[in-house]
């Protein structure tokens, strides 16, 4: 980090040569002095002492002046040296300094001016001649690096020639070595300070010392006060001699002199900060104390000497600062101090007795009449002692800083003088992005950058040294760093770190909150400070706060303890010393005790802190297990906060061996470590129990974040127990193949022997190997069931609707499959792994659970107490009636070079399909990557545009309509287990295409249970090796191949082998007698990449919280921001719409509803549509998976995207939520998935359409001949999503917690066709069913008793149900037979009113939410298909308000099959939520928007 002072070019001074060439009493020949002229050298008058004494006094004083700048440096005065002495002293100093810098100070007031060729002068030994010394020689003596001060006339000659010679030397060094030698500083990096230009002479004013330049550099306050007196007239007769008696100590900031020195330091620091480039500032002012003081004081020298027509020079060249506005502030501070000088001098003891000679004033002048030069200095004896009034400089500067922050410090501005400097903004692209607030659209602000930082920032740093102002300064500083990472970088660059570190030793409790806040921001931006916190024991400050039992001593205790947890987690990350130190300070215990705190942020960060403390640390993991930490984390998986659940999973992931490191070269692994306190089998069961518990708790979680973290935990188990997963994959493969072949349980197959019960027999024989120990058998049966449960969940997650989850799961599944294809199972005589997948005989039905393969009744899951845990619903694994459930063997096309798992639409969780796709990846790997990583690239241009390949990203011209929109942040990358195509993959493909008559590869005479035993035993050997070694063997970098040779009988460690070793062909016949020690592995796995365990990005994502502003409102809530103004406008517009439509609704019940408003043509059947309540937009879905958004007022399509549901399924329900602020489209499709999309309105310039989230809302979809798919209802006031459909239950999802709240039994075998929640704050909702039932549910009652009313008067499928728009306890329903019924919940279960509006059959029905009007459309049938009847009725009368026919646009009678088997209609009808409008979707793709005429209908 540049702010640390270790950047290239920074110097550290080791010693100094103070060269004085004065030759007192002898003037040089080229200097003509004025009379009077300046005579003081180092504040010594050389003419008051003998010449040799004066020279020594001057040298001693000069040394003391430099020591006032830095005491850590050895200063060597070199007085009037000869050439030989100068050379000797310089070479000695360079030798002593080693690689550090040497300061060379040259005072040439007693020798001729330097020549234009770069020669300075010294003496011969007899002082009879001036000897020229070339600056090139000085360079050779001093070497590099060096700091040079040239205090003589024409000093610019030395500076310019030094640069010329330095460049020449550096060029020669590069030419000799090819590049500059490492560790050697270039001569051009040397620093120089010159008193004047090449043709200028030093000032000789008698008011100033002769060495005014050196005096400015070494005693700036003396010169600054003298200069102020010379330039300003002060009252009270204050003279120069009085000013020189200013009381105080430079080091004591409480005294007047010390306060002035403090103010001077702050002002010069600020001038440099605001004027110089950041790199120059850090190099000069934040690397070395002496260099910083010299260049800080140089600013004063420039101000003083330019007033005397001298221009001091530096190298590097610096912009002029003599006219900076802060010099006026300095003059004001001096003026305020000197005005108190007479009173201050009166307090001095030596003056009370009348001894005024110290002032330099002649005593006899005081008594003269009429003259009192002190004006009040002599006060009455009874006067009170004068108390010095501290300067208001720092208080005023803090006020200015506070005004900058409170008046738009976080605002953005255009690039210019008021913007952040460009040289700083070039740090990184990420830094620039972090400077901008995270906007959700409205406008494009990419051209805006943060404002120019306040000038007072260095002054705030100095204020931290003051006890009275410290708390206020820290509060302002915390508000500043809260602006973002760019602000943190600024305060670190300015040099705050040493000060803020020392404050951790302060005992004041009032500083705790602000210090914790600032340190959290620093660690979020720069984690490298963890070393500093450890070395200084500063982390104990935060561990103490975290362990506080009394929350009253700390305001907002939970939030600040969460920050402490984050700080301690950052100290532990990637830092074993930090882990051990935190453990010793009981941080682990304190976090454990706070895992159940009410504040979710504290629960989240204590879990993450535990994750980092035990990450890769076996000893701490043992301690955690002894205290049951893993069990407590598993209980946290039912937390209401998705962030807390994810944090608990992250902690379980690092416990299981996942990497918590920020270093990508540390892949993790090693499981839970040694666990030496546990028995081997107990250790095994614990790891399986942790993964199984997490899987069962999270597999149906609505949060993709939680599901991703679950996959990390599972990947750790797969890594360590891969043999068990290979066995589960083989069992699933064989049962899946048997189902696909349509082989009945009592029918033998000719395809392979033992096809009927091979898997069950293998499991039974494997269990028989445990002799008569029933408890051991049961234990192993449960363990295998747990692995199989996790494997089925993995398959389900590999087709997860959220692309990141699916990508990670595909990586794990394909790793297991790769091992399966190389496993000894392929050598079985009865193996089907070498046969291509076959089509199932009956593709309309699929096993709905894992038990459908016979495992429930078999020996695998016969345990009664475990059967419930293994019933993993997998209707998504085989979608009913899905043609995508079968993928034929791939043909070598150009698309085959793509990643076969990149498109989730082509993925199913059928192992046969996955394997066929995986084989394709082996034969045709992606050519774009050599390490197995590939980025999805889809080529689907819009019709009429050129077919050009492009990476998947949003473009206006090219839109991928074959895939669902990606999420906002998609970091997941698929990783193939193969680096290069292995030769076995081609053999496998050739086997698939081989002639059945040709001889096949050799098989081995061993049984499946032998292979199971071998693989499982190898897993146990891996565990034993881990427990024995105490440390998991180091693995290669993921990009490095660790090949294992075929036929090799030596493996370095069981932990490194992929399979057990093959002992040769002798293991075939009778080689395995059922013992667990059989060795059947192939010892292969050449080319396998170490892709597991997966890496989690959750911790880094959580750290972003501490980089975002917390003390101010969000951009949308900030008055005056564009988002705020836009939302204010939306609110006013929405209120206007509500008021207007409320008035219209009163008359709409009596008007005709046949006014044409708009006609829109769309593709496909518009079977599902929804209107936006406030924007003139409608969302339309066709019969498959395309969603379009139209502006119905302009008849233009705004956006279009693919939903991503599998072929053969449909979008069956849609809602727009959060419509007050724009809206999110919620889409439910018939496979049980709910997806949420945003950015569908391009007018707002929010970017491309994005997937907000996606989850499986119904995980128990029942296959039906005529289903309803997924039916949704959203209750905005409660944030609740009610989901039903082709299921025997209705699930209530909480959007706030992203969890399933209720699971209500429908008590019906028919699908739910519609759901509608009560419009009030009631907890009831109504649901209609395919068998004609309408039921009322109450969410407050127990789940099994939640049905409070049932209406059963309908005789056919109920198409829709709606609440009465005005009577809250009444509802309407319509069935396909054309009847519309009105029900009252308070009366008997009989309809109040029945309308038989569509006697030929009803297609669609809807009710307007604001007025008593409902509409129906007639069914389209082979007997009535040219036109469709539309009827709009009022609830207050029998006769329709409007009844008309519209043309369907069909050219022939419709077939018996519907466009979607989940939607029993060919058209759609939907009312606008507010406007007096409704939309009609017709079979030819036409959408008609009809409205109310607001005229009284004619009933004649």
Length of the chain in terms of residues written: 1500
Which residues are 1004's β-sheet partners? 828
Residue 1158 has pLDDT above 80, yes or no: yes
pLDDT in tens, 713-739: 999 999 999 899 999 999 998 888 877
What pLDDT is recorded for position 75?
94
Residue 1152 has pLDDT above 70, yes or no: yes
What pLDDT is recorded for position 896?
28
Compute the average pLDDT of residues 1170-1193: 92
Q: Give the residue, 1269 or 1424, on which the prediction is more confident.
A: 1269
Taking Cα atoms as reference points, which of 617, 615, 624 lies closest to residue 591? 624
Q: Which of 46-60, 508-522, 860-874, 986-1000 is predicted with the least confidence, judged by mean pLDDT?
A: 860-874
Burial (Cβ within 10 Å: 0-12, 13-18, ≥19) of residue 997: exposed
CB 561 within 8 A of CB 545: yes
What pLDDT is recorded for position 1043?
35
In sequence order, what are the residues at sequence separation of 6 or more whose Cβ sits closer than 8 angstroms to the Cβ of residue 495? 3, 285, 286, 461
CA-CA distance, 186 to 176, in Å (whole number)? Answer: 14
pLDDT grade, residue 412 (50/70/90)? low
Long-range contacts of residues 1478-1482, Cβ cutoff 8 Å, at least 24 apart: 1478/1153, 1478/1406, 1478/1408, 1478/1415, 1478/1432, 1479/1169, 1479/1171, 1479/1178, 1479/1192, 1480/1417, 1480/1430, 1480/1446, 1481/1165, 1481/1166, 1481/1167, 1481/1169, 1481/1180, 1482/1166, 1482/1428, 1482/1446, 1482/1447, 1482/1448, 1482/1449
Torsions phi, psi of 1201, nearest 5? Answer: -155, 165
Residue 956 has pLDDT above 50, yes or no: no
Per the rule left: phi > 0, alpha: psi between -120 and 50, beta: everything else, 593 is: alpha
Q: How far separated are the first and last CA of the chain, in Å rounded?
A: 88
Question: Residue 408 has which token pair?
Answer: 């738009």
SS3 (DSSP) at 157: helix
CA-CA distance, 952 to 945, in Å (whole number)? Answer: 16
CA-CA distance, 97 to 88, in Å (whole number)? Answer: 14
CB 591 within 8 A of CB 647: no
Per the rule left: phi > 0, alpha: psi between -120 and 50, beta: everything else, 537 is: left
CA-CA distance, 1336 to 1317, in Å (whole number)? Answer: 10
What pLDDT is recorded for position 645?
95
Dihedral sign from CA coordinates of 336, 340, 342, 346:
negative
Q: What is the CA radius of gyration of the chain?
A: 42
What pLDDT is recorded for position 348?
55
Taking Cα atoms as reference points, which of 602, 538, 611 lies closest to residue 569? 611
Q: With pLDDT > 90 as the criterion, what percentage of the chain qualifies?
A: 39
The 3 state secondary structure assigned to 21-77 is CCCCCCCCCCCCCCCCCCCCECCECHHHCCHHHHHHHHHHHHHHHHHCCCCCCEEEE
pLDDT grade, residue 1209 (50/70/90)? confident
CA-CA distance, 347 to 649, in Å (whole number)? Answer: 70
Cα separations in angstroms, 618 against 582, 657, 689, 1032, 1095: 15, 10, 19, 10, 19
CA angle 533, 536, 538 (to 5 degrees): 50
Q: Give the residue, 662 or 1053, on which the prediction is more confident.
A: 662
SS3 (DSSP) at 709: helix
Compute the average pLDDT of residues 141-168: 93
What pLDDT is recorded for position 1373?
93
What pLDDT is recorded for position 520?
93
What pLDDT is recorded for position 1011?
86
pLDDT grade, residue 176 (50/70/90)? confident
Dihedral of CA atoms 209, 210, 211, 215 in degrees, nearest 10, equals: 0
Residue 149 has pLDDT above 90, yes or no: yes
CB 633 within 8 A of CB 602: no
CB 605 within 8 A of CB 665: no
CA-CA distance, 1150 to 1412, in Å (whole number)? Answer: 9
Which residues are 1404's β-sheet partners? 1417
Question: Residue 865 has which token pair?
Answer: 């107490």
Helix segments in 1004-1121, DSSP class H: 1008-1029, 1098-1103
CA-CA distance, 1235 to 390, in Å (whole number)? Answer: 65
Taking Cα atoms as reference points, which of 399, 391, 401, 419 lies closest to residue 456? 401
Letter string b/e over residues 344-373, b meaning 16 or more CB atoms within 10 A of that residue's CB: bbbeeeebeeeebeebeeeeeeeeeeeeeb
Taking Cα atoms as reference points, which of 699, 1247, 633 lies closest to residue 969? 1247
Q: Which of 1071-1075, 1134-1138, 1428-1432 is predicted with the least confidence, judged by mean pLDDT?
A: 1071-1075
Residue 474 has pLDDT above 70, yes or no: yes
Taking Cα atoms as reference points, which of 1452, 1462, 1461 lies closest to residue 1483? 1452
What pLDDT is recorded for position 242?
82
Compute the average pLDDT of residues 497-517: 86
pLDDT grade, residue 1174 (50/70/90)? very high
Q: Give the residue, 900 or 1033, on which the prediction is more confident.
A: 1033
CB 190 within 8 A of CB 315: yes
pLDDT grade, residue 833 (50/70/90)? confident
Question: Residue 210 has which token pair?
Answer: 């002769």
What's the mean per-residue pLDDT of the chain? 78
What pLDDT is recorded for position 1398?
86
CA angle 504, 510, 515 (to 5 degrees): 40
In sequence order, what are the residues at sequence separation of 6 or more whose Cβ sits closer than 8 angstroms to the Cβ of residue 59? 18, 20, 42, 77, 79
What pLDDT is recorded for position 170?
85
What pLDDT is recorded for position 244?
81
What pLDDT is recorded for position 1184?
84
CB 521 within 8 A of CB 482: yes
Letter string b/e over residues 837-867, b meaning 16 or more CB atoms within 10 A of that residue's CB: bbebeebeebbbbbbebbbeebbbbebeebe
Question: Residue 1445 has which token pair?
Answer: 């026919």
Residue-by-residue DSSP string for 1481-1492: E-TTSEEEEEE-
In sequence order, what are the residues at sequence separation of 6 or more whose Cβ sits closer than 8 angstroms to the Cβ of residue 232? 331, 335
Compute the average pLDDT of residues 703-718: 94
pLDDT grade, residue 1294 (50/70/90)? very high
Question: Residue 381 has which token pair?
Answer: 């004896």
pLDDT grade, residue 670 (50/70/90)? confident
Helix segments in 547-617, DSSP class H: 557-572, 576-584, 587-593, 600-614
CB 627 within 8 A of CB 587: no
pLDDT grade, residue 877 (50/70/90)? very low
Pairing of strands 101-107, 146-151: parallel
3-state helix, strand, coil in the chain (%, to 5): 40, 15, 45
CB 318 within 8 A of CB 212: no
Q: Which of 565-569, 634-638, 955-959, 1207-1211 is predicted with the least confidence, judged by mean pLDDT?
A: 955-959
pTM of the predicted structure, to 2 decimals: 0.82
pLDDT in tens, 572-607: 999 999 999 999 999 999 999 999 999 999 999 999
pLDDT in tens, 1307-1320: 888 999 999 998 77
In sequence order, what are the residues at sequence separation of 6 or more whose Cβ sits closer than 8 angstroms to the Cβ of residue 250? 68, 221, 257, 258, 261
pLDDT grade, residue 1046 (50/70/90)? very low
Helix segments in 339-382, DSSP class H: 341-346, 349-352
What pLDDT is recorded for position 1456?
63
What pLDDT is recorded for position 940?
32
Residue 927 has pLDDT above 70, yes or no: no
CA-CA distance, 1035 to 1042, in Å (whole number)? Answer: 9
CB 172 within 8 A of CB 180: no
What pLDDT is recorded for position 932?
37
What pLDDT is recorded for position 218?
94
Torsions phi, psi of 1063, nearest 5? Answer: -85, 5
CA angle 633, 634, 639 (to 5 degrees): 80
pLDDT grade, residue 4 (50/70/90)? low
Residue 1349 has pLDDT above 50, yes or no: yes
């Amino acid at each position: 980090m540049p702010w640390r002072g270790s950047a290239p070019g920074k110097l550290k001074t080791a010693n100094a040569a103070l060269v004085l060439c004065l030759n007192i009493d002898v003037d040089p020949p080229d200097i003509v002095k004025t009379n009077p002229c300046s005579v003081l050298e180092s504040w010594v008058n050389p003419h008051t002492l003998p010449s040799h004494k004066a020279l020594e006094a001057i040298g001693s004083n000069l040394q003391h002046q430099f020591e006032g700048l830095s005491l850590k440096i050895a200063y060597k005065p070199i007085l009037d040296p000869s050439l030989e002495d100068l050379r000797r002293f310089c070479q000695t100093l360079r030798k002593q300094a080693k690689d550090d810098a040497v300061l060379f100070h040259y005072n040439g007031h007693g020798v001729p001016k330097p020549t234009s060729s770069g020669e300075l002068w010294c003496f011969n030994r007899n002082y009879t001649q001036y000897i020229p010394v070339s600056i090139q020689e000085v360079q050779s003596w001093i070497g590099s690096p060096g700091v040079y001060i040239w205090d003589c006339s024409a000093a610019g000659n030395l500076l310019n020639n030094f640069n010329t010679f330095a460049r020449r030397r550096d060029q020669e060094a590069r030419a000799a070595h090819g590049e500059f030698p490492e560790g050697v500083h270039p001569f051009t990096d040397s620093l120089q300070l010159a008193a004047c230009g090449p043709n200028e002479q030093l000032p000789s004013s008698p008011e100033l010392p002769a060495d005014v330049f050196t005096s400015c550099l070494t005693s700036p306050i003396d010169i600054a006060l003298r200069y102020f007196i010379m330039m300003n007239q002060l009252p009270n007769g204050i003279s120069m001699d009085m000013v020189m008696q200013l009381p105080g100590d430079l080091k004591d900031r409480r005294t007047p002199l010390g306060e002035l020195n403090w103010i001077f330091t702050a002002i010069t620091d600020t001038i440099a900060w605001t004027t110089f480039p950041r790199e120059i500032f850090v190099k000069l002012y934040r690397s070395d104390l002496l260099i910083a003081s010299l260049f800080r004081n140089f600013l004063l020298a420039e101000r003083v000497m330019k007033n005397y027509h001298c221009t001091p020079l530096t190298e590097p060249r610096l912009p002029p600062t003599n006219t900076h506005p802060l010099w006026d502030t300095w003059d004001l501070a001096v003026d305020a101090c000197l005005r108190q000088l007479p009173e201050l001098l009166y307090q001095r003891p030596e003056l009370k007795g009348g001894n005024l000679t110290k002032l330099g004033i002649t005593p006899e002048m005081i008594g003269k009449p009429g003259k009192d030069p002190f004006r009040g200095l002599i006060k009455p004896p009874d006067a009170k002692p004068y108390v010095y009034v501290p300067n208001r400089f720092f208080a005023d500067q803090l006020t200015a800083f506070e005004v900058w922050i409170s008046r738009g410090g976080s605002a953005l501005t255009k690039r210019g003088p008021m913007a952040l400097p460009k040289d700083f903004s070039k740090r990184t692209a990420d830094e620039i992005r972090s400077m901008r607030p995270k906007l959700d659209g409205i406008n494009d602000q990419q051209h805006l950058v943060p404002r120019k930082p306040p000038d007072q920032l260095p002054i705030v740093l100095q204020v931290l040294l003051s006890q009275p102002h410290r708390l206020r300064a820290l509060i302002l500083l915390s508000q500043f760093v809260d602006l973002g990472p760019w602000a943190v970088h600024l305060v670190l660059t300015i040099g705050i770190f040493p000060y803020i570190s020392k404050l951790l030793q302060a005992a004041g409790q009032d500083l705790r909150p602000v210090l914790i806040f600032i340190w959290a921001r620093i660690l979020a931006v720069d984690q490298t400070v963890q070393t500093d916190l450890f070395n200084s024991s500063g982390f104990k400050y935060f561990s103490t706060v975290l362990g506080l039992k009394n929350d009253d001593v700390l305001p907002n205790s939970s939030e600040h303890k969460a920050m402490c947890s984050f700080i301690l987690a950052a100290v532990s990350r990637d830092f074993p010393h930090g882990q051990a130190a935190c453990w010793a300070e009981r941080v682990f215990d304190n976090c454990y005790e706070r895992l159940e705190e009410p504040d979710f942020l504290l629960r989240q960060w204590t879990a993450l802190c535990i994750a980092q403390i035990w990450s890769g640390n076996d000893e701490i993991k043992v301690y955690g297990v002894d205290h049951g930490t893993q069990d407590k984390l598993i209980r946290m998986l039912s937390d209401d906060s998705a962030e807390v659940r994810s944090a608990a999973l992250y902690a379980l992931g690092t416990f299981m061996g996942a990497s918590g490191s920020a270093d990508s070269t540390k892949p993790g692994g090693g499981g839970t470590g040694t666990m030496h306190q546990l028995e081997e089998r107990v250790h095994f069961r614990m790891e399986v129990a942790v993964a199984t518990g997490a899987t069962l708790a999270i597999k149906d979680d609505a949060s993709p974040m939680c599901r991703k973290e679950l996959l990390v935990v599972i990947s750790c188990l797969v890594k360590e127990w891969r043999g068990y997963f290979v066995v589960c994959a083989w069992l699933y493969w064989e049962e899946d193949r048997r189902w696909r072949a349509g082989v009945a349980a009592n029918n033998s197959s000719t395809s392979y022997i033992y096809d009927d019960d091979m898997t069950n027999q293998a499991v039974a024989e494997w269990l028989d190997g445990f002799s008569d120990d029933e408890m051991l058998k049961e234990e192993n049966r449960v363990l295998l069931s747990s692995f199989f449960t996790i494997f089925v969940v993995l398959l389900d997650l590999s087709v997860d609707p959220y692309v990141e989850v699916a990508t990670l799961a595909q990586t794990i599944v394909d790793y297991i499959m790769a091992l399966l294809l190389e496993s000894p199972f392929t050598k079985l005589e009865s193996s089907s792994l070498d046969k291509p997948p076959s089509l199932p005989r009956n593709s309309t039905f699929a096993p709905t659970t894992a038990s459908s393969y016979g495992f429930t009744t078999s020996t695998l899951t016969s345990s009664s107490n475990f059967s419930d845990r293994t019933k993993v619903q997998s209707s998504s694994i085989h979608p009913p009636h899905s043609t995508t459930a079968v993928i034929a063997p791939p043909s070598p096309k150009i698309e085959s070079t793509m990643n076969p798992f990149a498109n989730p639409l082509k993925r199913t969780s059928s192992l046969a399909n996955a394997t066929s796709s995986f084989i394709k990846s082996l034969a045709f790997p992606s050519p774009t990557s050599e390490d197995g990583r590939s980025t999805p690239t889809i080529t689907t241009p819009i019709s009429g545009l050129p077919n050009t390949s492009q990476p998947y990203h949003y473009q206006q011209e090219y839109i991928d309509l074959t895939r669902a929109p990606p999420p906002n942040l998609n970091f997941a990358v698929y990783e193939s287990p193969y680096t290069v195509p292995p030769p076995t993959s081609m053999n496998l493909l050739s086997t698939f295409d081989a002639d059945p008559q040709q001889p096949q590869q050799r098989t081995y005479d061993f049984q499946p249970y032998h292979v199971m035993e071998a693989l499982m035993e190898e897993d146990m050997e891996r565990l034993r090796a881990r427990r024995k070694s105490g440390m998991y063997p180091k693995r290669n970098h993921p990009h490095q191949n660790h090949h294992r040779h075929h036929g090799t009988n030596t493996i370095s460690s069981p932990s490194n082998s992929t399979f057990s070793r093959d002992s040769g062909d002798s293991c075939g016949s009778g080689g395995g007698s059922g013992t667990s020690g059989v060795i059947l592995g192939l010892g292969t796995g050449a080319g396998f990449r170490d892709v597991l365990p997966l890496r989690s990005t959750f911790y880094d994502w959580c750290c972003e919280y501490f980089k975002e502003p917390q003390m101010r409102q969000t951009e949308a809530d900030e008055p005056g921001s564009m988002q705020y103004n836009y939302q204010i406008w939306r609110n006013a517009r929405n209120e206007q719409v509500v008021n207007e439509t409320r008035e219209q609704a009163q008359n709409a019940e009596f008007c005709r509803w046949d006014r044409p408003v708009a006609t829109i043509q769309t593709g496909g059947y518009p079977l599902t549509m929804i209107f936006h309540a406030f924007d003139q937009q409608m969302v339309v879905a066709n019969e498959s998976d395309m969603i379009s958004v139209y502006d119905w007022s302009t008849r233009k399509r705004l956006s279009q995207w693919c939903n991503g549901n599998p072929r053969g399924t449909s979008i069956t329900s849609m809602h727009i939520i959060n419509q007050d602020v724009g809206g999110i489209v919620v889409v439910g499709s018939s496979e049980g998935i709910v997806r949420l999309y945003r950015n569908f309105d391009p007018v707002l310039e929010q970017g491309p359409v994005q997937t907000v989230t996606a989850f499986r809302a119904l995980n128990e979809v029942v296959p039906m001949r005529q289903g309803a798919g997924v039916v949704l209802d959203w209750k905005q006031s409660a944030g609740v999503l009610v989901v039903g459909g082709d299921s025997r239950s209705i699930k209530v999802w909480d959007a706030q917690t992203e969890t399933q709240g209720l699971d209500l039994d429908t008590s019906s075998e028919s699908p739910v066709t519609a759901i509608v929640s009560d419009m009030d704050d009631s907890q009831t909702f109504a649901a209609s069913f395919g068998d004609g039932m309408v039921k009322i549910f109450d969410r407050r009652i127990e789940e099994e008793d939640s049905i409070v009313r049932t209406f059963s008067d309908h005789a056919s499928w109920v198409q829709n149900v709606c609440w009465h728009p005005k009577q809250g306890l009444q509802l309407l329903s319509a069935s396909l037979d054309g009847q519309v019924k009105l029900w009252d919940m308070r009366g008997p279960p009989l309809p109040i009113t029945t309308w038989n509006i569509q006697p030929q059959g009803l297609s669609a029905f809807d009710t307007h939410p604001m007025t008593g009007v409902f509409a129906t459309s007639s069914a389209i049938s082979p007997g009535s298909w040219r036109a469709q009847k539309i009827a709009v009725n009022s609830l207050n009368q029998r006769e329709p308000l409007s009844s008309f026919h519209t043309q369907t646009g069909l050219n022939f009678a419709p077939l018996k099959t519907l466009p979607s088997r989940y939607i029993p209609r060919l058209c759609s009808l939907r009312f606008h939520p507010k406007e007096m409008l409704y939309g009609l979707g017709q079979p030819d793709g036409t959408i008609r928007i009809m409205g109310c005429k607001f005229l009284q209908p004619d009933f004649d």
